[in-house]
Amino acid sequence: DTGVSQDPRHKITKRGQNVTFRCDPISEHNRLYWYRQTLGQGPEFLTYFQNEAQLEKSRLLSDRFSAERPKGSFSTLEIQRTEQGDSAMYLCASSLEADTIYFGEGSWLTVV
């Protein structure tokens, strides 16, 4: 069990550029989540996949954000035309059904 892994761990980008984060969940986990966390706040839910199906999206997920999990394994989160307000840590998590949710180390995004 290698845990949830995320890549890259840190990304600095200029405003207006696109960025993509990758998440590899724990291998047998069928559920995958994306959360966003800013300083001093708890993680905020963005979206959730059951296998390859994206079943829920938060209103926080504007149309500049898109997430995929094409084969029900790894997932990508893309942010288009980044804004300074997108600066945050993007956390991926996975679980087996509705069991314990395990978080990855997170991907820090800084938009300058």
Please return the burial class of 75, using the count of CB atoms within 10 Å of its CB with bins 0-12, 13-18 and 19+.
Answer: buried
Asked if residue 22 lies in contact with residue 79, where contact means CB atoms within 8 angstroms, the answer is no
Give 80 or 105: the residue with its C-beta nearer to other proteins: 105
What is the smallest separation between the CB atom of 17 and other proteins, expressed in angstroms? 24
Give 3 or 16: the residue with its C-beta nearer to other proteins: 3
Give 5 or 80: the residue with its C-beta nearer to other proteins: 5
What is the smallest separation between the CB atom of 103 and other proteins, expressed in angstroms? 4
Which two structure tokens, joined as six digits, stand for 58? 């938060």
What is the smallest separation between the CB atom of 81 and other proteins, expressed in angstroms? 26
Give 58 or 80: the residue with its C-beta nearer to other proteins: 58
> Locate tokens 């993509």: which residue?
20
What is the smallest separation between the CB atom of 21 and other proteins, expressed in angstroms? 14
**Read out DSSP for 19-46?**
EEEEEE--TT--EEEEEEE-TTS--EEE
Residues that bind other proteins (CB under 8 A): 31, 33, 35, 40-45, 48, 50, 55-56, 91, 98, 100-106
The whole-angstrom distance between residue 69's C-alpha and the CA centroid of its chain comes to: 11
